[in-house]
Amino acid sequence: VEENEDNIQFKISDELIENVEQLIESKDDANILELLSDYHHADIAEILEETDINHATYVIKLLDSEKTSEVLMELDEDTREKILDTLSAKEIAEEIDELDTDDAVDMISELSDDRQQLVIDHIEDQEHAQHIKDLLRYDDNVAGGLMAKELVKVNENWTVTQCVKEMRAQAEEVTRVHSIYVVDDNQKLIGRLSLKDLLIASPRAHISDVYIPKVDYVYVTEDVEEVANIMQKYDLEAIPVVDKNFILLGRITIDDIVDVIREEAEKDYQLAAGITRDVEADDSIWKLTKARLPWLLIGMFGGLGAASIINSFSGAMGDYIILLSFVPLIQATAGNVGVQSSAIVVQGLANNTMDSSLVRQLFKEFTLGLVNGLAIALIALCVTHFAFGTPYTVSITIGLALIAVIVMAALIGTFIPIILDKRGIDPAVATGPFITTSNDVFGILIYFLIAKAMLGF
């Protein structure tokens, strides 16, 4: 344990993990509990990730239900799935009883349909069980799949005194109170309540006199990415969820949104790298192959296309065979520019900061490509002529080709993600191998067409 004035930080060492495993093997339950008592549930999960699955299961069954449920939620999905397979429906129900409904749904959704029903049947709190069944109806990619039923809401007709009494009762079921929502007699969301206004209001005042009618909200069918954008934009810790009739259904908290942002970033990163499925480093070779092979094949056919173009021009080059030496320069430049442009566009689309006009965006990239192209072409012209000793006409040809290729790559890297986004396809798929391969082929074609026009072969 390292201590300083600001915090206490636990480091998970190999020695600690070895000690835990030895205690488990000797079934020294008292010392296991004592050793882990000072650790946060996230630290315990990290320890269990490094132990044998049987040892991890032993510790899970040893801890009290409240701590066990928190540890289970911190575990890697694969590890959690293996542990849940060893637990009975009743044991899982005991853990789920301790979780907020959103976390409970996340855990129970990993089970088969038959086991889900068995677990729900064993949940003692019938209201909790009903909330879980309600939330299981929603897809993971909409607000309903993220929301929790636990929240604090007050009626506009209550007095301040009655409001405080009701809030105390509701707060017992809520892990963290981010906001107080105001509803009417029909449970429609009409505003929010400031704690400061509540404290300074007269005990006999009605909530309708002190609540704030302006409140941010999302519909239950809202896409989770849009929910994340709204919460990021307005810097919200929580946001209420309503149906089409404005009935208050639940709330989404920032911890769930952080998970969404991380998952989307991981997915976009994999797509940009040419991996078409959600995979992990420890997945099977077959699963990893299926995720990677499609884009590798696209890259291969793109390379064959570029090779075919080179082959069709090579016989006519004669004294200008040195042009082949600069093919890697053309391909690398085109690929890099295309990936840069597409990455900026994809980021802008994800953050809703893109210019809505396609023409304006293309003109901007054209101008940027032209400026960059002139700078790179000038440097390339000097280097190829003075350092490589290429004829002046060849160096000019290379420079002109670089300008044309850079402008072309910038336009392709901008155009394709925007078009994909307008058609409802994740624009991240445009980056990486797709853009690189297409720009390689078009870059080589432009290079040799300019060379043919300039040098006359």
- Rounded (10°) CA dihedral 415, 421, 427, 430: -40
Nearest CA-CA partner of 251 in 243, 235, 269, 239: 239
Average pLDDT of span 7-31:
79
> Checking phi first, is residue 283 left (phi over 0); if not, alpha (psi -120 to 50) or beta?
beta
CATH architecture of 14-136: Alpha Horseshoe (1.25)
Please give the CATH number for the structural domain made up of 152-253.
Answer: 3.10.580.10
pLDDT of residue 15: 83
- List, for residues 3-13, the tens digit of each pLDDT value: 444 444 456 77
Give CA–CA dist 75/85, Å, rounded: 14
pLDDT of residue 273: 58
Pairing between β-strand 238-242 and β-strand 248-253 as defined by DSSP bridges: antiparallel
Which H or E element spans position 275?
A: none
pLDDT of residue 7: 44
Least trusted range by pLDDT, from 2-6, 90-94, 108-112, 219-223: 2-6
- Average confidence score pLDDT of the chain: 84
Crossing angle between the packed helical segments 113-122 and 101-108, to the nearest 10 degrees = 140
Q: Tell me 314's DSSP state.
A: H
Task: Give the class (CATH, top level) of 285-455.
Answer: mainly alpha
Query: CATH 1.25.60.10 in the chain, residues?
Result: 14-136
- Long-range contact pairs involving 163-167 (C-beta distance under 8 Å, separation at least 24): 163/193, 163/198, 163/207, 164/198
- Contact at 8 Å (CB) between 414 and 428? no
Please name the amino acid found at residue 254. I
- List, for residues 152-198, the tens digit of each pLDDT value: 999 999 999 999 998 888 877 787 787 899 999 999 999 999 888 88
Please name the amino acid found at residue 364. K
In this model, does residue 453 exceed pLDDT 80? yes
Higher-pLDDT residue of 357, 232: 232
Which runs of consecutive H residues, i.e. helices, occur in 97-186? 101-108, 113-122, 126-135, 160-171
Q: Tell me 383's DSSP state.
A: I
Give CA–CA dist 219/453, Å, rounded: 59
Give CA–CA dist 193/414, Å, rounded: 45
pLDDT of residue 251: 94
- Contact at 8 Å (CB) between 182 and 193? yes
Distance between first and last Cα of the chain:
74
pLDDT of residue 319: 73
In this model, does residue 96 exceed pLDDT 80? yes
pLDDT more than 70, % of the chain: 88
Crossing angle between the packed helical segments 126-135 and 101-108, to the nearest 10 degrees = 60
List of residues 6+ apart from 103 with CB closer than 8 A:
69, 73, 148
Query: CATH 1.10.357.20 in the chain, residues?
Result: 285-455
Give CA–CA dist 19/59, Å, rounded: 13
Query: CATH 3.10.580.10 in the chain, residues?
Result: 152-253
- Could you tell me how many residues make up the chain? 457
- Contact at 8 Å (CB) between 299 and 437? yes
Average pLDDT of span 408-435:
79
